[in-house]
A and B are shown apart, each in its own frame.
Chain A
Amino acid sequence: MKENLNKALEKPGISVWQKVKKANNRGDFASVFMLAPAVILLIVVSVYPFIWVFRYVCYEYNGITSYFTGTHNLVRAFHDLTFWKSVVHTFEYAGLKIVFIIPFALLMAVFMKQKITGSELFRGIYFMPTIISAAISSMVFAFIFASYNGILNAVLRFAGLIDKNVNWLGDTKTAMWVVLIVAIWGGFGNYMIYFMSGLSSISDDVYESARIDGANGIQTFFRITLPLLSPMLKVILMLAITGAFKDYEAIMVLTQGGPNNRTQVMFLYIYQLIFGSQTGSSPQIGYATVLSLIASLIVGLVTAIYLFVSRKLDNVV
């Protein structure tokens, strides 16, 4: 038996010890040791929790006790209007955010690339929202958009643009726009830095050639900058899409998904189910688990579609 095993392990003429030595010389063990902490952490904080949630798919679980409910959570998910409305709102929010934030960030990156006095200072200012906690900046915006004594209403009244205070956060017609403004403000600096990094990789010689050929600023942007930036743009767009679909912190502070669920997005709804709402409702961890799996599938599907489309576009362009 032992001999058979040794035979199976050993290549003709190479003993196990020699194999180990060879692997050591190749640096295999060092690689394993170096990868180990990261892999262990990944398993503990990411893979294990992901598998853990599957346990409660068929349970009603409030964090203390669980009750078997069979397929009820899944059936409920397909009939839950609030959730599917939140999916629609997520697409609306993510779509509008990307439509505004990416061109704006690109434009600002191009401006920042110019050697204008003070551009470095502005670059820092524009990037600052990225490093400020979303909770804190959202609180500041809540004061700005406050209906009764908010700064925005005061300014608009002073300018004679409105007669009556606008209930920015409490009106279903305006709440989503406010949330979007805060999201764009908070995110564009980050994408601007990505674009600037992409722009810095474009050689000045290309621009110089274009200038000699008589290209103006707009032509240079569309014929030189944009095509050469496209590999970076693809990555930035993918990050923006996945990020926008997962956003919920600012919305939680500003509107808690209201008014009347108008700003309710997928992951905020899931958060509220997991941790219970302010009205003292019990956590519904089992059901939230099912929804989070569906939400992950939706985000994954959107990303896959984007990658597929962008690859096709590469072939066309």
Chain B
Amino acid sequence: MKRRIGSIVLTVVLAVMLTACGAANTGTANTGSADAGSANTGTADTGTSATATPVASASEDNTAAEPVIVEVWSNNRHDETYMTEMVDAFNASHTDVQISYTIMTDDWQNSIQLAFQAGTAPDVITISASDGMKLNDYVTSGMFESLSDYIAADTAFQEVTEVYDHMYEGLNSIDDAIYWAANGVRSGTRIEYNTELVSVAGYTEIPDTLEGVVQLTKEVTALGDGVTYGVGFTSSGPFGRWLEGVGEMSGYTHRGYDYTTGTYDFSSWAPLLETAAQFYTDGSVLPGSETQGVDNSRALFAQGSFAVWGNASQEAGVFTEQFPTTFEWGVSELPTMSGEVAGALSITPNFGFTMLSSAEDKDAAWQIISYFSSEEFLKGYFEGGYSAPLSSYMAGKIDSSKVGRLADFAIQDYEDVYPSTPSVTVEGDEYPTVFWNVIMGNISAEDAIADLNTRYNDALARGLANGSCTRLVIEDFDPLHPSSGTCTYLSE
């Protein structure tokens, strides 16, 4: 009998322990309640790194009003030092509102969605066009809060961000409602090249046609004797790194979408794919580089294994700090198919902040967003080379001599933000994967394009039928100035 009672007690104790282990973090970070401090610890315990925590605590001054804690999540690791410093500075100078700043780089979208569904979402998150977060989905589901009223009342914010000049339908705004304002911009892709390898092959600059680049890489490879090669790629989005930019500048359909007809048509891409396939048929590609992660390929470029690499302005920091090169590296504008620029190169608005609808103290959350978009904050951010300014106001405020190699990635006249293409769910491989298979010689360009046209237009038709997307038509679409057209959204 005693053993039985003992076993029951043991079972109950184990059950209680299990329950205790899984206890939810009930401390609400944004209410300013007495357990706010423990809530911050709880966030760090989830495996993310809390890089800055509020300095105020309930025990310091029982008589003073409790500070409101605004929980901010970021998916940027590269600016950690600056962000931590500025968050600490804010927390030290404010007693009413405090920032709890957490960096979470892995599985970003899923983390936000799960936290929102579980009621543990932050109040403010960083957002960039490159995050791939489809604004319409987040707005439809009620996750994002419109910032329009706050922006309308904050003239300093308007002046610094020039937000009304940088409203991109489906990207940071829907109809007249603004959900985030981009502070920075990532340039379109460029070619980064090893000047020594290129000059040995008799070139002083990168040719202005893709065919010329193919020839250059062939010659570098021929002189490399199996040790150095002409060009290198990566397994992580190899097509989008720079070849897609060549197509855009050649006037091809952006992401295969024909804005004038509101349909998908990848036909124009065939010549580019066939030309790029020559990299492989000529043997100019660093063997196996397309199976390497992006950092591995960067490291191989930095050690001089191949001459031509392509990526956007983030490489300024990569090849000066992360993987410093042992040789002089140059930055060149992308080639086109004809040598003439016939379309805009896509640029990516970044470093914005959005408010989640679950934020309990929205005024405090806006105060933090406003702080992150203040001149005081952004000047140091851009001069630190963490991003380039989007607004002409901030571009005029920063000392460009301090930005280092980022100066080589200055935004060009032909760079613009494309309106978001319809948010379709494609069955089977998406076009970057299919295009890469063409370049690798696995399928023909003709078959691939016919298949893509069918699948993407079917997906669009399905999306229109079930209401998950709209057809965007821009009758006055100008490939060189895609953001200036008049957008019409059709439900069929």
A57 to chain B, nearest CB (A): 15
List residues of chain B with CB within 8 A of the CB of A62: 134, 137, 425
Chain-B contact segment, one of A191-199, A232-240, A280-288: A280-288
* A167 and B291 contact, CB distance less than 8 A: yes
Q: Which of B109, B300, B432, B440 has the most chain A CB within a 10 Å cutoff?
A: B109
> Closest residue of chain A to B9, judged by CB?
A33
| A side interface size, CB within 8 A | 50
Q: Is B314 an interface residue (CB 8 A)?
A: no
* A147 and B288 contact, CB distance less than 8 A: yes
Q: How far is the CA of A76 from the CA of B235 in the complex (A)?
A: 28
* B462 and A69 contact, CB distance less than 8 A: yes
List residues of chain A with CB within 8 A of the CB of B113: 63-64
Which residue in A33, A60, A69, A276 is a CB contact (below 8 Å) of B12?
A33
Q: How far is the CA of A213 from the CA of B468 in the complex (A)?
A: 78
Q: Is A27 an interface residue (CB 8 A)?
A: yes
Chain-A contact segment, one of B45-53, B138-146, B322-330, B332-340: B138-146
Q: How far is the CA of A60 from the CA of B289 in the complex (A)?
A: 36
Q: Contacts A30-B4, A69-B466, A259-B440 hold; do A82 and B305 have CB atoms under 8 A apart? A: no
> Closest residue of chain A to B17, judged by CB?
A37
A266 to chain B, nearest CB (A): 16
> Closest residue of chain A to B469, judged by CB?
A67
* A281 and B288 contact, CB distance less than 8 A: no
Q: How far is the CA of A215 from the CA of B113 in the complex (A)?
A: 67
Q: Which of chain A's residues 1-53 have a Cβ closer than 8 Å to chain B?
A: 27, 29-30, 33-34, 36-37, 41
Q: Is B8 an interface residue (CB 8 A)?
A: yes
Q: Which of chain A's residues 278-308 have a Cβ closer than 8 Å to chain B?
A: 278-282, 284, 287
List residues of chain A with CB within 8 A of the CB of B412: none
> Closest residue of chain A to B431, judged by CB?
A279
* A280 and B425 contact, CB distance less than 8 A: no
* A65 and B468 contact, CB distance less than 8 A: yes
Q: Is A277 an interface residue (CB 8 A)?
A: yes
List residues of chain B with CB within 8 A of the CB of A90: none
Q: Contacts A147-B291, A165-B287, A167-B291 hold; do A64 and B423 have CB atoms under 8 A apart? A: no
Q: Contacts A30-B4, A33-B11, A34-B11 hold; do A170 and B288 have CB atoms under 8 A apart? A: yes
* A60 and B11 contact, CB distance less than 8 A: no
List residues of chain B with CB within 8 A of the CB of A34: 7, 11
Q: Contacts A148-B305, A282-B134 hold; do A277 and B433 have CB atoms under 8 A apart? A: yes
* B288 and A65 contact, CB distance less than 8 A: no
List residues of chain B with CB within 8 A of the CB of A65: 137, 140-141, 468
List residues of chain B with CB within 8 A of the CB of A278: 236-237
B463 to chain A, nearest CB (A): 8
A37 to chain B, nearest CB (A): 5
Q: Is B369 an interface residue (CB 8 A)?
A: no
A72 to chain B, nearest CB (A): 7
B455 to chain A, nearest CB (A): 11
Q: Which of chain B's residues 86-140 have a Cβ closer than 8 Å to chain A?
A: 107, 109-110, 113, 132, 134, 137-138, 140
* B466 and A68 contact, CB distance less than 8 A: yes
Q: Contacts A37-B14, A63-B109, A65-B137 hold; do A167 and B288 have CB atoms under 8 A apart? A: yes
Q: How far is the CA of A29 from the CA of B18 in the complex (A)?
A: 20
Provide the main secondary structure of the chain A interface: loop
Using an 8 Å CB-CB cutoff, how does the interface string of A159-171 with B read, 1 for contact, 0 for none? 0000011011110
Q: How far is the CA of A172 from the CA of B443 in the complex (A)?
A: 13
Q: How far is the CA of A261 from the CA of B428 in the complex (A)?
A: 11
* A275 and B110 contact, CB distance less than 8 A: yes
List residues of chain A with CB within 8 A of the CB of B15: 36-37
* A282 and B288 contact, CB distance less than 8 A: no
List residues of chain A with CB within 8 A of the CB of B12: 33
* A80 and B428 contact, CB distance less than 8 A: yes
> Closest residue of chain A to B130, judged by CB?
A280
List residues of chain A with CB within 8 A of the CB of B235: 256, 258
* B462 and A259 contact, CB distance less than 8 A: no
Q: How far is the CA of A274 from the CA of B14 in the complex (A)?
A: 34
B303 to chain A, nearest CB (A): 9
List residues of chain B with CB within 8 A of the CB of A82: 428-429
Q: Which of B11, B141, B236 has the most chain A CB within a 10 Å cutoff?
A: B11
B164 to chain A, nearest CB (A): 28
Q: How far is the CA of A66 from the CA of B164 in the complex (A)?
A: 32
Q: Is B246 an interface residue (CB 8 A)?
A: no
B254 to chain A, nearest CB (A): 14
* B138 and A36 contact, CB distance less than 8 A: no
Q: Is A138 an interface residue (CB 8 A)?
A: no
Q: Is B391 an interface residue (CB 8 A)?
A: no
Q: Which of chain B's residues 416-437 have a Cβ closer than 8 Å to chain A?
A: 423, 425-430, 432-433, 437
Which residue in A27, A36, A76, A148 is a CB contact (below 8 Å) of B289?
A148
List residues of chain A with CB within 8 A of the CB of B485: none
Q: Is B442 an interface residue (CB 8 A)?
A: yes
Beyond contacts A147-B287, A147-B288: 19 other A-B pairs, Cβ-Cβ < 8 A, are A36-B15, A60-B466, A63-B113, A65-B140, A76-B427, A80-B427, A80-B428, A148-B287, A148-B288, A149-B305, A167-B288, A168-B288, A170-B287, A170-B288, A260-B437, A276-B132, A279-B237, A279-B432, A279-B433
Question: What 5 A-B pairs have minimum CB-CB distances, sorted nearest first?
Answer: A147-B288, A280-B132, A147-B287, A260-B442, A67-B466
Q: Which residues of B contact A (CB under 8 A)?
A: 4, 7-8, 11-12, 14-15, 18, 107, 109-110, 113, 132, 134, 137-138, 140-141, 143, 226, 235-237, 240, 286-292, 300, 305, 423, 425-430, 432-433, 437, 440, 442-443, 462, 466-468
User: Could you show 28 A-B contacts with beta carbons less than 8 Å apart?
Assistant: A30-B7, A34-B7, A37-B11, A41-B18, A62-B425, A64-B143, A65-B137, A65-B140, A65-B141, A69-B466, A72-B462, A142-B291, A146-B288, A147-B287, A147-B291, A148-B288, A167-B291, A170-B288, A258-B291, A259-B440, A259-B442, A260-B443, A261-B429, A276-B109, A281-B426, A282-B134, A284-B425, A287-B427
